[in-house]
Amino acid sequence: MKFGIIAAGEGSRLLNEGIHIPKPLVPINGTTMLRRLINVFTNCGADEIFVIINGTSGFTSNYLHELKNTVSVPLRIIEKTTESSLHSFYEIVRTINDDKFCVTTVDTIFKEEEFYCMINSFIRGCEDGVMGVTSYVDDEKPLFISTDKNMYINGFLDSSIDNTEFVSGGIYCLTRKSLPTLERCIGGGVSRMRNFQRYLVEDGLRLKAYPFTKILDVDHAGDIEKAELFLKGEYTDD
């Protein structure tokens, strides 16, 4: 199975708060966020790992090209400035030649054992996609996810309706059945991941939600310590 990492953002909020390292290279417990994900994907049996970075990300590009010679899994580097996260997602997915794949953003922080279980569930299952979700809201603009009693997704919502339990965690496991929807979204000017996901439901794809205890994002300087404590099992804020 092949994996992708979206690392094309500028990390402007971190920069404004005094973090002058490119976001993908910010260390969490001594390991860059980029290397951490590569390690996690490798441990999950990745055949190939694709990483997209901004075309002007010199430091990140140099880091990746050096890393490429030290990792045990083929590392494919896409250097391209895109207009949105969905376009970055598209650049990765159009390059992957595999029936099943998983893509995350570089600052998605989760427990590795939960991710491993999700990947196994996706590989063994017959769903068109499995999305990582959590009841822990850590995003400034969360995407709420409505499911049926069997955890199949029936809606992606900008606000909670009827006490919607889960929000998106930014972990997308999909099959090639999603490609026509993705192509149509890109061709039609759609630029947000959440709208692409809505079209997946509208097109009748069977998407299942896989719950994690917590999924965190690193958007602000204070999130770095929070992520470190979480991965150490020391972060208890509910």
**Side-chain half-sphere CA neighbours of 108 within 13 A:** 24
**pLDDT of 27 higher than 90:** yes
Instruction: For residue 173, list its beta bridge partners.
Output: 102, 130
Alpha helices in the chain (DSSP H): 12-16, 33-43, 58-67, 85-93, 112-124, 179-187, 193-202, 221-232
pLDDT at 163: 65
Q: For the chain, what are the domain ranges?
A: 2-232
pLDDT at 10: 67
**pLDDT of 75 higher than 70:** yes
What span, in angstroms and rounded, lies between the C-alpha atoms of 101 and 173?
6
What span, in angstroms and rounded, lies between the C-alpha atoms of 24 and 182?
25
Q: Which two tokens stand for residue 83?
A: 């207009």
User: Could you read off the pLDDT of 32-61 as tens digits, one per residue?
Assistant: 999 999 999 999 999 999 999 998 778 999
User: Could you read off the pLDDT of 169-222 as tens digits, one per residue?
Assistant: 999 999 999 999 999 999 999 999 999 999 999 999 999 999 999 999 999 999
Does the global pTM surpass 0.85?
yes
User: 19 falls in which pLDDT band (50, 70, 90)?
Assistant: confident
CATH topology of domain 2-232: Spore Coat Polysaccharide Biosynthesis Protein SpsA; Chain A (3.90.550)
Task: Please state, as a whole number, how many other Cβ atoms lie within 10 Å of the Cβ of residue 104.
Answer: 23
Across all residues in the chain, what is the average pLDDT?
A: 93
pLDDT at 141: 85
Task: Name the residue among 171, 172, 16, 200 with its Cα closest to residue 107.
Answer: 171
126 in Cβ contact with 81 (< 8 Å): no
User: Could you read off the pLDDT of 88-113 as tens digits, one per residue?
Assistant: 999 999 999 889 999 999 999 999 99
Task: Name the residue among 216, 230, 229, 3 with its Cα closest to residue 116.
Answer: 3
User: Could you read off the pLDDT of 108-140 as tens digits, one per residue?
Assistant: 999 999 999 999 999 999 999 999 999 998 777
60 in Cβ contact with 86 (< 8 Å): no
